[in-house]
Structure 1
Amino acid sequence: MIHEHEQTGITSGSRLKGSFLGPLFSFNLHSFVDDFWGNGWGISRCLILSIIFWGLFAVLGNMIPNLPLFAFEWLLGTAPIWLPVVLLVSAWKIWMWYIHSNYIFKRDTMLLEVKMPREITRSPRAMENALSKLWTDSGETTFFNTAWQGQVRPYFSLEIASFGGQIHFYIWCWRQWRPNVEAMMYAYYPEVELVEAEDYASKFRFDPETQECFPTDWRYEPRNDAYPIRTYVEFELDKDPKEEYRVDPLAEVLERMSILKPDEQMWIQIILTQCRDYRRNPKGPWWDIQDRYTNLIKDEIDVVRRESAPAKPNDREAEDSWKAVVRVPQYRLTELVKAMDRNMGKHPFNVGMRGVYISNAENFNSAGYTGIRWIWRPVGNPQYMNQMRPRRWGNPFDYPWQDYKDIRWRLMQRRFFDAYRRRAHFYSPWIFPHNMMSTEVIATMWHPPSSAIGAPGLERIPAKKAEPPANLPK
């Protein structure tokens, strides 16, 4: 996939409410429509752009007689030029949608539960190495594989689910990939057990009459994908400290999921596949493309480094001339660059994250859904890096005029559970925006917890059940 634009920053609605003149006189249509009206007052982009379009159309209609007839004749006369292109592009997209859906439908999937032992001594670095086993483009080797056979590269789902406070770790995969998943886990965590489990998402039936839920996703914000979150390296877990000195950000996540009431549930899903994103080379011809992950990080590192250098090195009278002789050890110029450079050298994945809080309707409250919305706050660093911010699904509904009699809310809930059960994120029928993350970032948010995490809902097995060695004499 070729990406034309990168995220440069997001303005929250709380900062824009009442600020009408700034976005208006900045002559930035994106800021005016999305930031002020969308984030600020909950007015959809479609409605605002429709009003602008029909307003301009009405003005143009007063200037050009018989404008509708003129527009129809113009479209009809130029149809031999644009119609074949539209039909060809549409046919190609429909074909790719069909063959990809057909291929995915034929995959036999399974859910493996990861049963944790009482003692796990390895740090998340072991999980980082294990995840590199899933970095594969198998199935998309040639154009024939993708465009005719409809093959897609494998995608996996790392999940944490709490049912009334009982926490379970899962790995979802295609059945043919079970040996690879077992090999990667047993190689670095020989104490754990992997057993096939019933798919809790497919078994669950949401009843809107008696239950309520709040679905959400998490995306990088406020910067682009070159800036990571705080990983286990920032928490010094890579140094394998003693158990009593471990500060694992996953502890707060599991503790929140452990204190659920019997009628409450929390699900977390991290869907990943090999990152093969590309972008156009900004310094080359339009047909020249380059790896998006590596080059985006390089560009952002250069931006940070230029901040430490004077704009005019030979001008000693400039305000920033001191930068030529003094290097202030700022976090942004030292630790941030180290973190970005370190993540650039690791396997990148396309990652989509979603979660949901479910409870009985009478017990549904803000404490429950706020807990799932901001459950990844321990790994956030919005001042210098990124944070995992809730963006889609239930989050945009702030005003009563956004949803008449909960019609959109119920539709959104049905769509969420369908996407969750399918583990769909990168291919039809559900394609959503994703982030690029390294194995270090993913391992921070999903790894077998050590005994330092004492969440009461985390069930642990006394010891791993081992089979006798295969090389025993018969």
Structure 2
Amino acid sequence: MGFAIPGVGEEKERQQQWGVGSHVMRNIVSEILSLDFRQFIEGTIGNLLGISRGTFLAAVFLGFLGALATRIPNLPLFIFAWVVGTMPIWILPAAVAGGWKAWVWYVQSNFLSKREPLLLEVKIPRELVKSPRGMEQALAQWWIYSGETTYFHRKWLGQVRPIFSLEIASFGGDVHFYIWTWKNYRKVVESSVYAQYPEVELVEVEDYASKYRFDPSKEMVYATDYRYEPRNDAYPIKTYVEFELDKDPKEEYKVDPLAQIVERMSVLAPDEQIWLQIVITMDMEVRRKPGGWFWETEQRFKGLAMAEVDKIRKEQAEVKGPEEDWKRFSRVQMHRVNEQIRVIERNMSKHPYHVGLRGVWISSPEHFGPQGWNNMRWIWTPVGNPQYLNQLRPRRWHTPFDYPYQDVWDLRWNLHAERFFDCYRRRAHFYAPYTLPDNLMSTEVIATLWHPIPTAIASPGVQRIPAKKAQPPPNLPK
């Protein structure tokens, strides 16, 4: 009969786990044996070797054509004859589908081009003690289903739901909070924010992103999007409720997750900038109901949450072997399970939004380096909980560049930077010309990521207004 001494042998196991080749090879073999080619392409080919999915699939396709060329004489002529011969079968459906898609892109782009954008700067007073719950209530007021009432409005006129953008920008350590919207929704934004934060001021300002011009000869940038990982949208991040800000503690006891982010943005050099953008629009997405008839649908956000709760409960009740026989006659409260179910169900009760997060660090070549872009990659770490829930992980734009052969002479890097700034200026994420992956987040999560910071955050880069403006008494004689 053997026994184990705690701590003995753990260091060797840890060295094997973090060895250069062992765990990597196990992952590669596991991906191949599981026949999950999507995971193999994204994991081994994309993340490990740094080869894009398009490049890999193009190489496979060209290799397949090369193999066929050795077996079929005059392969180009054969392919041309086959395409022309089958054209009566596929040309009409392809033309209708492609034409309809192009029409929807056109009318939506035409509708968006006629919107008048508006950027409001949020001036924060010295004395502000309200919790992010106030911002959550304001966001609930922005959950507007307008413009897409009928199929005619959506697909023929190209109307879309209103889009809002919550932004934090630092210019050489000077931190500003912004709200971007369409001009016809200005009163909605102002009334909802003033109702919860009467001390703040909303001032229309010039769009900092529109007037900026990227010059690769003078500046260097690192741009990225942020996505939920490692779980699906049913699992949120750590919100202000986990930080106990919903209980309105005293200022000296408040632990605000934005404190570290704002402080990081406050210590930039004069030639550095950081922009963070949270683009949101209301969620009305539905999916086919699992196990139901093909015409039965359910709200996707609610369906994901309910499915995950059922999955967690079933996993706890399942007996996988003799070592788990105790589950048949005993129920042990597990903190992880209780916490996941509690957070998912609370998150499900809030209004859901489609959310796109992005950020960029702009710097002179003298200050540009790994430390700066690593801070940018993990700037949302204070709200992450990858063990139980989710974290915001960097994705897209400059994030995948790991090897020198991925970019020669910085051509792709600068091209990605130009496209990123164009996307940022447009506040584009959900419609053409930039349709990007997004996450479903509740108002509670968004309010955690962006809210007027309280007095407890004393970062030097935040310029606060002296005091609330006094209003005349309402009973003065006219």
TM-score by length of 2: 0.92
In the TM superposition, 1:37-48 aligns within 5 A as: 37-48=45-56
* Larger deviation, residues 389-398 vs 143-152: 143-152
Q: Which residue of 1 aligns with 2:7?
A: none
Given that 1:309 and 1:323 are in contact with CA atoms closer than 8 Å, whether structure 2 keeps it comes out as yes
Quote the RMSD (CA, aligned, Å). 1.9
Q: Displacement of 1:419 after TM fit?
A: 0.5
Q: Which residue of 2 aligns with 1:369?
A: 373
Select 1:30's aligned residue among 30, 38, 47.
38
Alignment of 1:117 onto 2:139: no
Change (3 A) 1:16 1:434: farther
SS in 2 for 1:226: coil
Q: Which residue of 1 aligns with 2:363?
A: 359
Q: Which residue of 2 aligns with 1:432?
A: 436
Equivalent AA in structure 2 for residue 269 of structure 1: Q
Unaligned runs of 5+ in 1: 1-12
Given that 2:319 and 2:328 are in contact with CA atoms closer than 8 Å, whether structure 1 keeps it comes out as no
Deviations along 1:303-345, whole A, 9 cap, x unmatched? 1111110348xxxx84433223322222321011100000101
Alignment of 1:273 onto 2:281: yes
Q: Which residue of 1 aligns with 2:456?
A: 452
Q: Which residue of 2 aligns with 1:465?
A: 469
Q: Which residue of 2 aligns with 1:416?
A: 420
Given that 1:310 and 1:322 are in contact with CA atoms closer than 8 Å, whether structure 2 keeps it comes out as no
Alignment of 1:240 onto 2:248: yes
Alignment of 1:199 onto 2:203: no
Unaligned runs of 5+ in 2: 1-19
Change (3 A) 1:63 1:289: farther
Equivalent AA in structure 2 for residue 293 of structure 1: F
Alignment of 1:184 onto 2:192: yes
Select 1:342's aligned residue among 337, 341, 346.
346
Given that 2:233 and 2:440 are in contact with CA atoms closer than 8 Å, whether structure 1 keeps it comes out as yes
Q: Displacement of 1:21 after TM fit?
A: 3.1
Select 1:263's aligned residue among 248, 266, 271.
271
Change (3 A) 1:427 1:306: same
Query: 1 CA distance for matches of 2:228 and 2:171?
Result: 28
Q: Displacement of 1:428 after TM fit?
A: 1.1
SS in 1 for 2:363: strand
Alignment of 1:332 onto 2:340: no
Q: Which residue of 2 aligns with 1:209?
A: 217
Query: 1 CA distance for matches of 2:174 and 2:69?
Result: 64
Query: 2 CA distance for matches of 1:21 and 1:430?
Result: 36
Deviations along 1:263-305, whole A, 9 cap, x unmatched? 1111100000001222223313444432111001111111111
SS in 2 for 1:405: coil
Query: 2 CA distance for matches of 1:248 and 1:327?
Result: 36
Query: 2 CA distance for matches of 1:398 and 1:237?
Result: 39
Alignment of 1:173 onto 2:181: yes
Equivalent AA in structure 1 for residue 207 of structure 2: D
SS in 2 for 1:230: coil
Equivalent AA in structure 2 for residue 229 of structure 1: I
Equivalent AA in structure 1 for residue 332 of structure 2: V
Alignment of 1:227 onto 2:231: no
Query: 2 CA distance for matches of 1:284 and 1:351?
Result: 29
Q: Which residue of 1 aligns with 2:9?
A: none
Q: Displacement of 1:61 after TM fit?
A: 4.2
Query: 2 CA distance for matches of 1:364 and 1:310?
Result: 52
Query: 2 CA distance for matches of 1:200 and 1:423?
Result: 13
Q: Which residue of 2 aligns with 1:7?
A: none
* Larger deviation, residues 292-301 vs 26-35: 26-35
Equivalent AA in structure 2 for residue 100 of structure 1: Q
Select 1:107's aligned residue among 101, 111, 115.
115
What number of residue pairs does the alignment pair up? 458
SS in 1 for 2:147: coil
Query: 2 CA distance for matches of 1:210 and 1:353?
Result: 26
Q: Displacement of 1:22 after TM fit?
A: 3.2
Equivalent AA in structure 2 for residue 358 of structure 1: I
Query: 2 CA distance for matches of 1:294 and 1:449?
Result: 30
Q: Which residue of 1 aligns with 2:10?
A: none
Equivalent AA in structure 1 for residue 203 of structure 2: V
Q: Displacement of 1:384 after TM fit?
A: 1.3
Query: 1 CA distance for matches of 2:452 and 2:114?
Result: 31
Equivalent AA in structure 2 for residue 179 of structure 1: K
Query: 2 CA distance for matches of 1:66 and 1:367?
Result: 56
Q: Displacement of 1:68 after TM fit?
A: 4.0
Select 1:152's aligned residue among 141, 148, 160.
160
Given that 1:272 and 1:351 are in contact with CA atoms closer than 8 Å, whether structure 2 keeps it comes out as yes
Select 1:378's aligned residue among 376, 382, 387.
382
Deviations along 1:127-180, whole A, 9 cap, x unmatched? 111100110111111111112221111000000011111111000000111100
Q: Displacement of 1:348 after TM fit?
A: 0.1
Query: 2 CA distance for matches of 1:282 and 1:75?
Result: 39
Alignment of 1:405 onto 2:413: no
* Larger deviation, residues 203-212 vs 280-289: 280-289
Query: 1 CA distance for matches of 2:69 and 2:286?
Result: 43
Equivalent AA in structure 1 for residue 172 of structure 2: G
Select 1:91's aligned residue among 81, 91, 99.
99
Query: 2 CA distance for matches of 1:302 and 1:176?
Result: 43
Q: Which residue of 1 aligns with 2:65?
A: 57
Given that 2:319 and 2:327 are in contact with CA atoms closer than 8 Å, whether structure 1 keeps it comes out as no
* Larger deviation, residues 24-33 vs 60-69: 60-69
Equivalent AA in structure 2 for residue 250 of structure 1: L
Equivalent AA in structure 1 for residue 261 of structure 2: V
Given that 2:356 and 2:439 are in contact with CA atoms closer than 8 Å, whether structure 1 keeps it comes out as yes
Identical-residue share of aligned pairs (%): 56
* Larger deviation, residues 177-186 vs 273-282: 273-282
Query: 1 CA distance for matches of 2:285 and 2:180?
Result: 23
Given that 1:17 and 1:36 are in contact with CA atoms closer than 8 Å, whether structure 2 keeps it comes out as no
Q: Which residue of 2 aligns with 1:75?
A: 83
Q: Displacement of 1:19 after TM fit?
A: 5.2
